[in-house]
């Protein structure tokens, strides 16, 4: 097949690879389905556990609450609680309405004053006994004598009169209640005073039958279609208390009791999860299939498990739910995967966790903010800043949420405090687990990449000190690779930072590489071409070993090995042929492998172009462009990019990026006349 690219005509040999491609696609599909099934099972298990925890089957009349049962939302309902037993109870317990009998107070005081006058005139025991008998009093002879003695004090009759008036002011229906009334009013009266009152006082209240019947009817009516209001945070049953019928009804209205058709509930739950997982399947397959198949899947799964277990542990303590570090999931998923992946999984998990609509909106809002902010993190300290921001944002959302639900001031303040701590806890746990995820699952995050871009890194400092020419070359390669990668939508940050490390192997023998040679001294002139080729080709393996010892990520180690592919060291190969030395071509080639990714392929081209253009004498626009196209054409013809996934169209875009960058580096300088004259004089 003939194809015109980069101004040149190429001939490609097309082989039948349909069977191999089908096998690869089949494996990829199986891997995706396997991981999707794991995700489905995880969501299903936690969804069932959480739903069954909400629908607690142990809530029956007579059972004991194992912990405080708190209303997690506002509920109002109407109920008719009137039945025969309650009607009877109302009739027995309703206080009757009374009417006061007129002149009872005045008549009683008149009789009392007459009694006191009579007592003062009684002279002996016989007269006293006769007086008691005639008037049917309950006094003893000694009582009358004591009363006679007390009448010597003029205040005695006044005190008794005041007591009678105070008791009659509220009224008394039964004389049996006299002692209770005196205690309630805190009236000072001894036993003799009580006898006097009991002998002369009589009830001054009579039941108003009509008013009492109306009161009973009103009380009964209030229990028909009575509105019961439950507010979020109300304690329905305290720990250790027995659940009665009223409490059970409240729990049912809060959907905390499973009743009715169990099969219908199971079918409804299964249908909800099935629809949710079908949605997740299509979203994952179309948007982030590569992420699901990548190393980011299992750390994300672990995070989902952690968040759900935390939720289940505190499910029955409604206040501590606000401490749930649910923003961990969007933060870690965004850092390890991407925004779309994080949004899909976070939304799905929040559907399972959220117990009501308003709280669902709070969690989704906070999660979306976390996704947006996490995608722009450049250092681990930024996670701390993000956690504080999320805590404050969640507190504001919780405040609004509390107002909407008409929660008490105390509960709102508790929600705010716990929300702030939730943000802090999110940051602490994310910071703690992220390095383990990165190392154990060998995931290269943007944050880890940017840490490697610090020129104070051990390897880069050593490269600068031991091989300054190589260091400068690596920086230039990074600039070329970054621009090219960005132009085709590849990972520009990785391309730049991997370029910094691609030639670290040259530190082992820096003087054998031309960019580090000074004063025209070239050690290759003293050794055989085959040994020179061995030294040059060894720098990829040497760099790999150095990188591994310094714990560089696998992706960068791969670039170190692949950035020359299996290129032939032409200069020493032809020099060996000229010298008559026995030549095996493979001994003069790099050991490879060839670049396996777009970024690695770009770095191979950038490395070649940057090094070669240094020697170019004609650095005009046309000269640079022609030379770059020649170099890229050579790599294509040598099949060095055959495994890199770079398309011919992308290669053309990469070439244009190289041309633009190098024209900026080697553009013509303005000649200043005075400086030219000075140079001629010198």
Query: Taking Cα atoms as reference points, which of 308, 316, 309, 320 lies closest to residue 254?
Result: 316
Question: Considering the domain boundaries, does residue 224 fall inside one?
Answer: no
Residue at a domain's end among 386, 417, 443: 443
Whole-number pLDDT of residue 390: 93
500 and 553 housed in the same domain = yes
Beta bridge partners of 228: 77
Q: Does residue 543 surpass a pLDDT of 90? A: yes
Report, as an integer, the average pLDDT of 67-94: 71
Question: Considering the domain boundaries, does residue 490 fall inside one?
Answer: yes
Query: Taking Cα atoms as reference points, which of 607, 605, 602, 595 lies closest to residue 473?
Result: 607
Whole-number pLDDT of residue 454: 92
Determine what percent of the chain is predicted with pLDDT higher than 70: 86
Whole-number pLDDT of residue 223: 65
Coil, helix or strand at residue 229: strand
Q: Does residue 485 surpass a pLDDT of 80? A: yes
8 A C-beta contact, residue 355 and residue 73: yes
Distance CA 288, CA 284 (A): 5
Question: Considering the domain boundaries, does residue 201 fall inside one?
Answer: yes
- Taking the CA atoms of residue 388, residue 389, residue 395 and residue 398 in that order, the dihedral angle to the nearest 10 degrees is -130
Domain count, the chain: 3
386 and 268 housed in the same domain = yes
402 and 487 housed in the same domain = no
Q: Say what angle helices 468-488 and 458-466 make with each other, to 10 degrees.
A: 130
Q: Quote the DSSP letter at residue 124.
A: S
| CA end-to-end distance (rounded Å), the chain | 60
315 and 363 housed in the same domain = yes
Q: Positive or negative CA dihedral for 644, 649, 651, 657?
A: negative
Report, as an integer, the average pLDDT of 366-377: 89
499 and 593 housed in the same domain = yes
Whole-number pLDDT of residue 15: 46
Whole-number pLDDT of residue 490: 92
Q: Does residue 35 surpass a pLDDT of 50? A: yes
565 and 469 housed in the same domain = yes
453 and 497 housed in the same domain = yes
Question: Considering the domain boundaries, does residue 229 fall inside one?
Answer: no
Whole-number pLDDT of residue 14: 45
Residue at a domain's end among 207, 239, 271: 207
Decide which of 9 and 244 is more confident.
244
286 and 399 housed in the same domain = yes
280 and 379 housed in the same domain = yes
477 and 601 housed in the same domain = yes
Pick the range with the lowest mean pLDDT from 274-278, 366-370, 376-380, 453-457. 274-278
Report, as an integer, the average pLDDT of 480-486: 96
Question: Considering the domain boundaries, does residue 78 fall inside one?
Answer: no
Question: Considering the domain boundaries, does residue 374 fall inside one?
Answer: yes
Q: What is the band of 284 on the pLDDT scale with cuts at 50, 70, 90? A: confident
Question: Considering the domain boundaries, does residue 47 fall inside one?
Answer: yes
Greatest mean pLDDT among 22-26, 207-211, 626-630 lies in 626-630
Whole-number pLDDT of residue 467: 94
Give the pairing type, strands 205-207 and 98-100. Answer: antiparallel
Whole-number pLDDT of residue 317: 58
Whole-number pLDDT of residue 150: 87
Decide which of 348 and 330 is more confident.
330
149 and 189 housed in the same domain = yes
Distance CA 172, CA 149 (A): 29
Q: Positive or negative CA dihedral for 275, 281, 286, 288?
A: positive
pTM: 0.65
Q: What is the band of 631 on the pLDDT scale with cuts at 50, 70, 90? A: very high
Whole-number pLDDT of residue 464: 95
Its domain, for residue 142, covers: 98-207
Q: Does residue 219 surpass a pLDDT of 70? A: yes
Q: For the chain, give the mean pLDDT.
A: 83
Report, as an integer, the average pLDDT of 516-539: 88
Whole-number pLDDT of residue 567: 94
Query: Taking Cα atoms as reference points, which of 487, 470, 475 lies closest to residue 658?
Result: 487
Q: Does residue 136 surpass a pLDDT of 80? A: yes
331 and 359 housed in the same domain = yes
- CATH code of the domain in which 558 resides: 1.10.3210
Residue at a domain's end among 395, 420, 443: 443
Q: What is the band of 61 on the pLDDT scale with cuts at 50, 70, 90? A: confident
Q: Which pair of structure tokens corresponds to residue 104? A: 């009872």
Extract the runs of DSSP E, i.e. beta strands, from 628-680.
Answer: none
Whole-number pLDDT of residue 55: 54
Rg, the chain, Cα only: 47
Question: Considering the domain boundaries, does residue 247 fall inside one?
Answer: no
Report, as an integer, the average pLDDT of 251-268: 68
Whole-number pLDDT of residue 292: 65
Give exposure, 160-178, as e/b (b: 16+ Cβ within 10 Å): beebbeebbeebbeeeeeb
């Amino acid at each position: 097949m003939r194809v015109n690219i980069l101004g040149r005509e190429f001939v490609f040999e097309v082989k039948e690879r349909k069977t191999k491609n089908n096998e690869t696609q089949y494996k990829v599909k199986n891997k995706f389905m396997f991981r999707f099934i794991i995700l489905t099972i995880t969501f299903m298990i936690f969804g069932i556990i959480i739903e069954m925890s909400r629908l607690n089957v142990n809530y029956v009349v007579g059972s004991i609450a194992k912990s405080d049962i708190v209303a997690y939302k506002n509920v109002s309902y109407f109920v008719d609680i009137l039945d025969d037993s309650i009607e009877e109870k109302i009739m027995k317990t309703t206080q009757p309405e009374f009417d006061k009998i007129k002149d009872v107070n005045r008549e009683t005081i008149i009789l009392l004053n007459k009694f006191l006058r009579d007592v003062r005139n009684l002279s002996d025991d016989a007269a006293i006994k006769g007086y008691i008998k005639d008037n049917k009093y309950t006094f003893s002879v000694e009582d009358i004598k004591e009363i006679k003695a007390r009448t010597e004090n003029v205040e005695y009759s006044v005190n008794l009169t005041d007591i009678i008036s105070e008791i009659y002011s509220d009224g008394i229906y039964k004389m049996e209640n006299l002692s209770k009334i005196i205690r309630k009013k805190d009236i000072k009266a001894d036993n003799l005073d009580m006898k006097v009152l009991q002998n002369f006082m009589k009830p001054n209240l009579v039941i108003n039958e009509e008013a009492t019947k109306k009161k009973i009817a009103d009380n009964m009516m209030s229990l028909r279609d009575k509105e019961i209001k439950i507010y979020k945070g109300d304690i329905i049953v305290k720990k250790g208390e027995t659940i009665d019928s009223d409490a059970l009804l409240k729990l049912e209205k809060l959907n905390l009791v499973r009743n009715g058709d169990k099969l219908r509930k199971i079918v409804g739950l299964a249908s909800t999860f099935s629809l949710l997982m079908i949605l997740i399947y299509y979203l994952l397959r179309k948007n982030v299939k590569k992420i699901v198949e990548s190393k980011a899947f299992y750390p994300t799964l672990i995070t989902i498990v952690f968040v759900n277990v935390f939720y289940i542990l505190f499910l029955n303590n409604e206040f501590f739910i606000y401490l749930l570090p649910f923003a961990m999931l969007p933060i870690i998923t965004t850092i390890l995967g991407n925004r779309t992946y994080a949004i899909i999984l976070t939304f799905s998990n929040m559907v399972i966790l959220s117990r009501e609509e308003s709280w669902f909106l709070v969690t989704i809002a906070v999660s979306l903010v976390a996704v947006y902010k996490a995608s722009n993190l450049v250092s681990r300290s930024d996670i701390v800043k993000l956690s504080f921001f999320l805590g404050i944002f969640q507190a504001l959302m919780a405040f609004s949420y509390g107002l909407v639900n008409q929660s008490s001031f105390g509960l709102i303040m508790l929600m705010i405090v716990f929300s702030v701590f939730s943000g802090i806890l999110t940051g602490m746990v994310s910071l703690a687990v992220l390095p383990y995820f990165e190392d154990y699952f060998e995931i290269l995050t943007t944050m880890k990449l940017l840490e490697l871009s610090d020129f104070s890194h051990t390897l880069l400092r050593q490269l600068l000190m031991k091989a300054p020419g190589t260091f400068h070359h690596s920086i230039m390669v990074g600039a070329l690779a970054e621009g090219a990668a960005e132009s085709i939508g590849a990972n520009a940050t990785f391309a730049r930072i991997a370029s910094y490390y691609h030639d670290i192997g040259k530190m082992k023998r820096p003087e054998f590489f031309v960019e580090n040679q000074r004063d025209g001294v070239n050690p290759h002139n003293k050794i055989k071409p085959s040994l020179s080729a061995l030294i040059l080709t060894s720098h990829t393996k040497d760099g790999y070993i150095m990188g591994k010892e310094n714990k560089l990520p696998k992706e960068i180690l791969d670039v170190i090995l692949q950035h020359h592919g299996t290129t032939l060291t032409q200069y020493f190969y032809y020099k060996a042929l000229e010298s008559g030395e026995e030549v095996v071509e493979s001994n003069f080639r790099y050991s490879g492998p060839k670049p396996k990714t777009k970024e690695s392929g770009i770095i191979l081209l950038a490395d070649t172009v940057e090094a070669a253009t240094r020697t170019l004498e004609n650095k005009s626009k046309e000269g640079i462009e022609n030379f770059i196209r020649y170099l890229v054409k050579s790599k294509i013809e040598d099949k060095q990019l055959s495994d890199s996934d770079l398309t011919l169209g992308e290669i053309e875009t990469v070439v244009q990026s190289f041309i633009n960058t190098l024209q900026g580096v080697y553009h013509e300088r303005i000649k200043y006349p005075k400086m030219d004259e000075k140079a001629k004089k010198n």
